[in-house]
Amino acid sequence: MKTRVLILCTGNSARSQMAEGLLRHMAGDRLEVHSAGTRPGSVRPEAIAALAEIGIDIRTHWSKHVDDFAGQPFDYVITVCDHAKQSCPVFPVGTRRIHWSFEDPAAATGDQPHRLAEFRRIRDQISHRLTEFVDSL
């Protein structure tokens, strides 16, 4: 069986979506990767654009609720925002929880180039952490 990873955020619209796309790209067939939110919204176009710039297509992703994965076993649950960490449901014994606190790029204000720059910055931070995670497996 593949190692199963669930990446959680509040809205499942930016950070967790970018992390899902990045981790799938990095790990290939080695991992089964999902993302969800505690209060899902819709995938941010800036998240799609930031990953498209590095050759990763998440246009078909959609925001999912963490309850959609209730009762499913995961080897790792990675929270990428503080709110998701605090409201994360309990997962079965043996699930390893990891928390990384990233700023919410969706909170960026200003014009489109400035907002996209924030998504790129967070994308790169997430990519760095995921590279370390994959290397540790």
Helix (H) or strand (E) segment spanning residue 78? strand 76-79
81 catalytically annotated: yes
Sheet holding 96-99, edge to edge: 31-37, 3-9, 76-79, 96-99
Q: Spot the catalytic one: 9, 14, 18, 23.
A: 9
Q: How far apart are CA 9 and CA 56, in angstroms?
A: 20
Q: Spot the catalytic one: 25, 39, 75, 88.
A: 88
Task: Note the helical H segments in the chain.
Answer: 15-27, 45-52, 82-87, 112-136
Q: Look at phi and psi of residue 108 and say left if phi exceeds 0, alpha if psi is from -120 to 50, else beta.
A: beta
Classify residue 115 by its DSSP letter: H
Q: Spot the catalytic one: 81, 84, 116, 130.
A: 81
Catalytic positions are 9, 81, 88
